[in-house]
Structure 1
Amino acid sequence: MEKRIPAPLAEVVHSCLADKFSRNEVMPDDHYFFRVISGEVKIVLSDVTQVFGPGDTILLPRRQLSTVIQYPKDNQPYQCVLIIFKHERLKDYYSRNRAKEQTALSTAVRSYAKHPLLESYFGSLIPYFDLPDGLPEKILALKIDEALTILRTIDECVDAFLADFSEPGKIDLASFMEQNYMFNMPLKKFSYLTGRSLTTFKRDFINIYGSTPQRWLTKRRLKLAHDLLSENKQKPVEVYREVGFENLSHFSYAFKKQFGYAPKEIL
């Protein structure tokens, strides 16, 4: 079940997954600001995994590659209230509120402890989801402004994310791929994040690795899967999604083709 405060761009959402388990690779085009009501959410980055539960408030910056896993906990469904900070909203806000000058931070998930301003804000949103006609645009705009003002009050560094309207520039392809190969995304997304067209991305990739991106990604993901199975004693059903495969049967087939034995034979 998902309720939205009706808006042209669905900027405020109440999500409830009931008994469902949800896992998605995401690279949001906008900043996601959300409060977990019940259940748990696991956010997997290239170098760290974080788990959040009821009462936790999280900011997932735009263009942050991550795997987001949402699931029930303690007989409660996963529920959250999500505010999406759209590009145009942010530009309008910062045209009226000067951003603090600071050194840009590396992109990462930011989390916030309970705070009276956050408790009051999210508590005020819940009743709005029952309005039959939704919030008027002017009130929605005020609630978005309020969220941004609260964030800037409790996090002095957040402007480095929210006030950054730049597009990704050309970066070192090899370093980026070694850090993010496990994320199951279209090549077009990988090329965009490295500041390249898809054609240039494929050409540069072959020049660096002597292989097509698809073949390299499969081989690299299978190596990671082998390590997780043999060293961490994880089960194939726990591993295949973590390393970027969409289903267990494809993973098992590719694994056996690569190593000569099935994933379950390692255990």
Structure 2
Amino acid sequence: MKPVIQLFGESFLYSCSFAQTHAYEQFVPEHVLAYQISGQTQIYHQQQEMILEEGQILLARKNQFAKSIKIPAGEKAYQCVSVLLTKYQLQQFALDNVISCEERYQGRKNILLGPDTMLKDYFLSILSYIEPGKSVSRKLASVKVDEAILLLLAIRPDLKSFLFDFSDPYKQDLEEFMLKNFHHNAPIKHFAKLSGRSLTGFKRDFAEIFNTSPGIWLKNKRLSEAYYLIKKKSRNPRDIYLDLGFENLSHFYTSFKRKYGHTPAEIKLQNK
């Protein structure tokens, strides 16, 4: 059975799979509140790993790169439901409830929330909205998102700056930023945003530091890392191409051979 990923309106996302699946979306543009119904989600972010187990709830901050692997639990399917806390919805909530936030958020980007009956009951209440053939009106979705925000503030008042800091990311050291994040498969505009630059400023600074374009540098960096892992670490090409930002194995093999004159499999055989 094929994996099911359904977006209901602009607020609810439901994912179901009976086989281990890599998630290809690697840029998180909005805050996400997620409940793991069954199975587990392995999340890789900021060169760290966290696991969302069955029954756990995750609050993930916007504007970050992240990779995930969806893993079923035995005979049970992988199931996860998420609420998208968009900037627009949070700004509207802040206006309606006279909330201002001068503090810039400095904490963790991904927070596992402690066991909470109210939050779990909340997620159970929205599961009925994600049945096939049902639609969620914009007004109803807005009410349910507001309910999620109210619950978060009631349970964790300290999350105020997490939710209502609307400032742009800090400008970062570009060389350090790219060396940490080159393996993420994302459009250049997302690299620019997370580095704290406009797209124009990002391309200008990038050319000054690396003497090439972002697209060319990313491709060469990923390929050189692949060569190192296969040649020096004896890694299997099939096990690394997704982690290095390649969308499919065929594209990886073609690009690798064009650069090195041999396929990844041929390089691996040289080690034997």
Same fold by TM-score greater than 0.5 = yes
Shift of 1:49: 1.9
Mapping of residues 230-249 of structure 1, within 5 Å = 233-249=234-250
Distance 1:68 1:236 in 2: 19
Give the residue type in structure 2 aligned to 1:37: I
Normalised TM-score (structure 2): 0.82
Shift of 1:63: 0.8
Distance 2:205 2:157 in 1: 39
Is 2:112 aligned against 1:122? no
Give yes or no for contact 2:104–2:165 (8 Å, CA) kept in 1: no
Question: Alpha-carbon deviations, 1:55-111, whole Å to 9, x = none?
Answer: 121122111111233243313222111111122211122230536775522552222
Give the residue type in structure 1 aligned to 2:242: R
Query: Aligned pair in 2 of structure 1 residues 146, 219: CA closer, same or farther (>3 Å)?
Result: same
Larger mean CA deviation between 87-96 and 140-149 belongs to 140-149
Give yes or no for contact 2:71–2:78 (8 Å, CA) kept in 1: yes
Residue 93 of structure 1 corresponds to 93
C-alpha RMSD of the superposition: 2.9
Larger mean CA deviation between 24-33 and 150-159 belongs to 150-159
Distance 1:63 1:17 in 2: 26
Distance 1:135 1:212 in 2: 43
Give yes or no for contact 1:64–1:107 (8 Å, CA) kept in 2: no
Give yes or no for contact 2:6–2:13 (8 Å, CA) kept in 1: yes
Shift of 1:183: 0.7
Give the residue type in structure 2 aligned to 1:60: A
Give the residue type in structure 2 aligned to 1:38: S
Residue 168 of structure 1 corresponds to 169
Residue 216 of structure 2 corresponds to 215
Show structure 1 runs of 5+ residues with no match.
none
Residue 27 of structure 2 corresponds to 27
Distance 1:206 1:137 in 2: 44
Shift of 1:223: 3.2
Residue 50 of structure 2 corresponds to 50
Show structure 2 runs of 5+ residues with no match.
none
Give yes or no for contact 2:41–2:52 (8 Å, CA) kept in 1: yes
Give yes or no for contact 1:102–1:157 (8 Å, CA) kept in 2: no
Query: Aligned pair in 2 of structure 1 residues 4, 48: CA closer, same or farther (>3 Å)?
Result: closer
Give yes or no for contact 2:36–2:80 (8 Å, CA) kept in 1: yes
Distance 2:222 2:199 in 1: 21
Normalised TM-score (structure 1): 0.84
Distance 2:74 2:132 in 1: 30
Give the residue type in structure 1 aligned to 2:129: Y
Distance 2:239 2:132 in 1: 41
Distance 2:26 2:148 in 1: 22
Q: How many residues align?
A: 264
Mapping of residues 8-87 of structure 1, within 5 Å = 10-19=10-19, 21-87=21-87
Identity of aligned residues (%): 30
Distance 1:225 1:132 in 2: 44
Shift of 1:38: 1.8
Give yes or no for contact 1:25–1:183 (8 Å, CA) kept in 2: no
Is 2:189 aligned against 1:188? yes
Residue 255 of structure 1 corresponds to 256
Distance 1:3 1:198 in 2: 31
Shift of 1:45: 1.4
Larger mean CA deviation between 202-211 and 234-243 belongs to 202-211
